[in-house]
Amino acid sequence: MPAARGAAAAEPPPGGYRRGSAGYRRASAAAFLAGAGTFALLYGAQALLPQLSDAFDVSAATASLALSAATGAIAVSLLPMSAASARWGTSRVITVSLAAATVLALLVPLAPSFPVLLVLRAAQGVAMAGVPALAIAYLGRIIHPSALGGAVGLLVAGNTMGGLSGRLIAAAVSDLLGWRPAFAVTAVFATACLAAFWWLLPTRETGPETGPETGRERRRGAEVAAPRYVAEQLRDPVLLRLFGLSFVLMAAFVTVYNYLPYRLLAAPFALSATAVGLVFLAYVPGSVSAGVAGRLGDRLGRRAVLWASVLLAQLAILLTWPDLLGCVVAGLVLFTVGFFGAHATASTAVTHRAVRGRAQASALYLTAYYAGSSLGGSLSGLAFAAYGWTGIVGFVTCAILLASWLVSGVWAKRR
């Protein structure tokens, strides 16, 4: 792990950095950029699904595998990445993970066939897994609990802006030059995020989160403790509901963004690829909502914020049903706000609930998150093929109803 840059402290103060401190700002900015680079690589492909359908002569559901292969690989790699952090350190694994992902991203535009592209995307997903697996745990270790909600909200905002940037870059470049240059330009953007992330990291490696030992003894203790933490968390009914919430909400969210471009490119809308890419600007209010939801959760309670976010998402998906562009755009914006508000709140709740083994708890939460993206994003393509956008509205509504049931039990159960 590199030493601190500038005047930042080498170790966080007791209890962690508080809001307003230099360490808090550097840690939050570093996490923002790590999320931005990762999510640009991950979700830039989503804007290219219609072009991949045309280039390789595959259906919308099959083209969605270009995203699902990466998210599925992330899902199965999160726990191994968490274990790697116990041996080598959280921030070091995050750095190596993002670096490997950007190198692999440069190979994706060279794919000669769709199966090769899927293999490269899956390998890229494995490399990317370190960032989502460990970023929340990293913040939980060095940020004071009173400021954690806002810091996690900024991390989610970085994910949001990365997803937005990747989609906008890919859509605009593909409209002019094709899907291969679109993937390449997105990789360059992610490399810039990696460099800024490395520079902003505020602390040396703080070691695993077990006991008073230091150095190698702490890492060995964390490796032994990690399986026990996972077993404890899988027996916790509150954490299980939060993991389930992560799965169903992400399945709903990725479904909307996977298949909306197909709808907008076709009649009656018949938009260009660049115009469809601009629709992803709905991510901007989503980015704002993540930070706001984190702060409101700290002040007003996470239960109220989570309920409000889920209800907003349900109302918003119904607004997208009519073939009216204004309704579709407004519904997409509100749906995005609701989703990211719920995600920021639920992920913070996981960090607070898991007093021990936060890296493992974050990895389990995000395993469910990316499994929902991979499975939901592809299976919902069957509903789209059969019933068009009506099928998507029905699929998402079922997912949100299940999310409501999960939310109802989160704070009803105690340790």
Q: How confident is the model at residue 140 (pLDDT cuts 50, 70, 90)?
A: confident
**Cβ proximity of 18 and 216 under 8 Å:** no
Map 295-338 to HEC letters: HHHHHHCHHHHHHHHHHHHHHHHHHCCCCCHHHHHHHHHHHHHH
The chain-wide mean pLDDT, for the chain, equals 83
How many angstroms separate the CA atoms of 388 and 167, rounded?
23
* CB atoms near residue 268 (< 10 Å): 9
Q: What angle in degrees, to the nearest 10, is found between the helix axes of 145-177 and 325-353?
A: 140
Q: How confident is the model at residue 84 (pLDDT cuts 50, 70, 90)?
A: confident
Going by C-alpha positions, the residue among 151, 146, 148, 202 that lies closest to residue 32 is 151
Give the residue-averaged pLDDT of 72-96. Answer: 81
Dump pLDDT digits (tens) for 169-217: 998 999 889 999 999 999 999 888 888 888 887 754 444 443 333 444 4
Question: Which residue has better confidence, 235 or 142?
Answer: 235
Question: 149 vs 22, 40, 91, 361, 364, CA distance in Å?
Answer: 17, 23, 20, 16, 19
Question: Which residue has better confidence, 253 or 349?
Answer: 253
Q: How confident is the model at residue 14 (pLDDT cuts 50, 70, 90)?
A: low
pLDDT reported for residue 317? 97
How many angstroms separate the CA atoms of 17 and 144, rounded?
5
Q: What is the Cβ-side half-sphere exposure of residue 36, based on CA atoms within 13 angstroms?
A: 24
- Token code pair at residue 234: 């899988």
**Cβ proximity of 289 and 314 under 8 Å:** no
Q: What is the torsion angle, in degrees rounded to the nearest 10, for the CA atoms of residue 64, residue 70, residue 71 and residue 77?
A: 160
pLDDT reported for residue 210? 39
| pLDDT at residue 287 is higher than 90 | no
| pLDDT at residue 1 is higher than 60 | no
Reduced to 3 states (helix: H, G, I; strand: E, B; else coil), residue 178 is coil
pLDDT reported for residue 226? 66
Strand partners, 17: 143
pLDDT reported for residue 209? 44
Mean pLDDT lowest for which of 107-121, 221-235, 288-302, 312-326? 221-235
pLDDT reported for residue 3? 41
Integer Rg of the chain from CA = 20
Q: What is the torsion angle, in degrees rounded to the nearest 10, for the CA atoms of residue 209, residue 236, residue 400 and residue 308?
A: -70
* Domains of the chain and CATH, by start: 22-410 (1.20.1250.20)
How many angstroms separate the CA atoms of 81 and 94, rounded?
9
27: exposed, middle or buried (Cβ count in 10 Å: 0-12, 13-18, 19+): buried
Going by C-alpha positions, the residue among 243, 336, 361, 347 that lies closest to residue 286 is 336
Strand partners, 331: none
Going by C-alpha positions, the residue among 37, 346, 247, 295 that lies closest to residue 161 is 37
pLDDT reported for residue 98? 83
Give me the DSSP letters along 242-297: HHHHHHHHHHHHHHHHHHHHHHHHSTTT---HHHHHHHGGGHHHHHHHHHHHHHHH
Question: Which residue has better confidence, 372 or 216?
Answer: 372
| pLDDT at residue 5 is higher than 50 | no
pLDDT reported for residue 10? 52
The pTM for the full model equals: 0.80
pLDDT reported for residue 216? 47
| pLDDT at residue 146 is higher than 80 | no
